[in-house]
Structure 1
Amino acid sequence: MTLRPLARAALALAVTVGIGAGAIAVATSAQAAPAVHYAALGDSYSSGVGAGPYDVSGCLRSNRSYAPLWAAANSPDSFRFVACSGAVTADVLNRQLSALDAATTMVTISIGGNDAGFADIVINCRLGSESACASAVNRAEQFATNELPGRLDATYAAIKQRAPNAQLIVLGYPRLFEETRNCGLLAVSLTKRTIINDAADLLAEVTAGRAAAAGATFVDTRTQFTGHGVCGATPWLNDFSALIAAYHPNAAGYRDGYLAALNTVTG
């Protein structure tokens, strides 16, 4: 069959359009997923204190913390792990922001507990009287109410400025204790445990409020750790005998507590 010039031109156009459409479809279906550049900032609850073993940085960073566990499971295009034991908001501002840039797409952080003096609370409540414990908690609660919000606002704003394209995920702290009637002969009393847990609730509320104001995502770990505090049947937190790791998550706490909670907002 011989095609007339007009028919041949129409056929050529149809083939060209068809090939072009096919090429577009193939390109669309093969489009790469967005790059993920993850930076993990924060204090000991992010560095992995309690899980061990630790690197040689002096910050007590552990690969069993939630951040490296998330990175191992999700294979981000880059991962920077700069969380450091003992960090306060000023340390994040002065030492950790260098891990961020315009390419960063995801930032996680736990911060504020050291600013509020929770280490002092634990020492006073573990070794002192109930009145000494109550006084220490009261001081921390006043700080958390009056001073901490401004420090958190400044920290979150600096992160947003340094990494304007990143999702900022703020992870809270769990309640430390189960409020069981009995918790061993040398354990913290029920009264002290209740006081400390109430302070943890206040800290979570303050942090959640400031995170929301900054446009960040707050991850409340209290629900995840329910039933797994110190004095629980299957604790995910180390007790006082763990020395520097006392009242920090153990490996199960970072994996089944923090990582599981983080997964609820990252998919």
Structure 2
Amino acid sequence: MLRRARNLRAPRNSALLGAAALGAVLALTATSAQAATPAPRHYVALGDSYAAGAGVPNQSAGLCLRSDRNYGHLVAAALNAAAYTDVTCAAAKVKSLTQAQYDAFIRVNDPQLDAVTGDADLITLGIGGNDLGLSDIGIGDVIATCIAGAVVNPLGTPCKDVYHHGYWDWSSWSWQYGNDDLADRIDATAPRLADALQRIRAKAPKARILLVGYPSVLPSDGASCVFRQPIAPRDIPYLYGVLGELNAMLKSTAAANGATYVDTATPTAGHDACSDDRWIEGALPGSPAVPFHPNATGERAMADAVLKALK
């Protein structure tokens, strides 16, 4: 094959024409990509600790734990946004969009929707996970409950036992699964989130709104977490399912309210807190990040997912 290739003599001007044509195609493709994602005039980032990049250097905004390498900053830089406003804050719940956020009676953030103005043409929102927790630390109290349960019952399902309620049905002589507290809280969050999206749309009618989902914090199988994370391995599939339900709610709520859902679970799969190549840190972070949150690589992966959704 190599000899035959050498014997083929193409005119030099044909090769030049081919190179020129290829260059033109590449230039047209680049121009089309830029046209598909123009530089935002005003990009506003809203959300919780996953959007804030909690623990990732460099940190600012006090207890909000906002990073200058969170996915919002990375997206703004990639798109060359003319103006960028970041009001993300750790522990934010959906109510934090319309109410000031407090931590132990200390006001840590203004209502995030105050930052949304009529000139905003791109808005990202990553929120909802903290509504699964009842305390001010949000999802942190669920994680704490699961870790504490694993100390007492490492071979069982202590976390699932707290939130998932079943009963013995004597008529069928079998165990029946009842309601799940975390599933109920996800359902209760949906209408509040829908209202928030409608409020964002009213304040910024020309903005493209992206609702960013949560990354793959844990794997689907607990076997890979044995001796790696302080959660009972048999609880891992349950927590994985809860996160899946949360993302499914975010996706359906976005679709019903004129927003674009951004899937960050798929591109981060295999890089969870139990993997050898973590983009999501575990209870004892190996890279700077709040436990069970994205590190700098994870934030980059989330930024790439947002940029992909925009294109």
Shared fold per TM-score greater than 0.5: yes
Residue 222 of structure 1 deviates from its aligned partner by 0.9
Residue in structure 1 matched with residue 293 of structure 2 by the alignment: 248
Give % identity.
30
Q: CA RMSD in A?
A: 1.9
The 1:245/1:34 distance shift into structure 2, 3 A limit, reads: closer
CA displacement 1:9-46 (0-9 Å, x = unmatched): xxxxxxxxxxxxxxxxxxxxxxxx67521000011011
Which one of 112, 130, 134 corresponds to residue 114 of structure 1? 130
Residue 50 of structure 1 deviates from its aligned partner by 3.6
Greater strand content: 2
CA distance in 2, matches of 1:89, 1:70: 23
Q: Which has the larger radius of gyration?
A: 1
1:74 aligns to 2:79 (yes or no) = yes
Residue in structure 1 matched with residue 223 of structure 2 by the alignment: 181
CA displacement 1:98-148 (0-9 Å, x = unmatched): 111111000001111111223222111122144440123631111112x11
Q: Which amino acid aligns with 2:186?
A: A
Residue in structure 1 matched with residue 105 of structure 2 by the alignment: none
When normalised by structure 1's length, the TM-score is 0.82
Residues 80-95 of structure 1 correspond to what in structure 2 (within 5 A)? 80-94=85-99, 95=111
Is the 1:69–1:259 Cα contact (8 Å) retained in structure 2?
Answer: yes
Residue 244 of structure 1 deviates from its aligned partner by 7.6
Which one of 147, 155, 158 corresponds to residue 199 of structure 2? 158
Is the 2:55–2:65 Cα contact (8 Å) retained in structure 1?
Answer: no
Residue in structure 2 matched with residue 3 of structure 1 by the alignment: none
Is the 2:157–2:235 Cα contact (8 Å) retained in structure 1?
Answer: no
Residue in structure 2 matched with residue 136 of structure 1 by the alignment: 163
SS at 1:40 equivalent: strand
CA distance in 1, matches of 2:292, 2:306: 20
Residue in structure 1 matched with residue 306 of structure 2 by the alignment: 262
Residue in structure 2 matched with residue 210 of structure 1 by the alignment: 253
Is the 1:36–1:105 Cα contact (8 Å) retained in structure 2?
Answer: yes
When normalised by structure 2's length, the TM-score is 0.71
Is the 2:132–2:142 Cα contact (8 Å) retained in structure 1?
Answer: no
Residue 169 of structure 1 deviates from its aligned partner by 0.2
The count of corresponding residues between Structure 1 and Structure 2 is 233
Q: Which amino acid aligns with 1:158?
A: R
Residue in structure 2 matched with residue 226 of structure 1 by the alignment: 269
CA displacement 1:165-188 (0-9 Å, x = unmatched): 100000011231122524352622
SS at 2:66 equivalent: coil
Q: Which moved more, 1:184-193 or 1:118-127?
A: 184-193
The 1:186/1:216 distance shift into structure 2, 3 A limit, reads: closer
The 1:56/1:168 distance shift into structure 2, 3 A limit, reads: closer
SS at 1:83 equivalent: coil
The 1:89/1:182 distance shift into structure 2, 3 A limit, reads: closer
The 1:177/1:251 distance shift into structure 2, 3 A limit, reads: same
Greater helix content: 1
CA distance in 1, matches of 2:126, 2:207: 16
CA distance in 2, matches of 1:34, 1:201: 32
1:239 aligns to 2:282 (yes or no) = yes
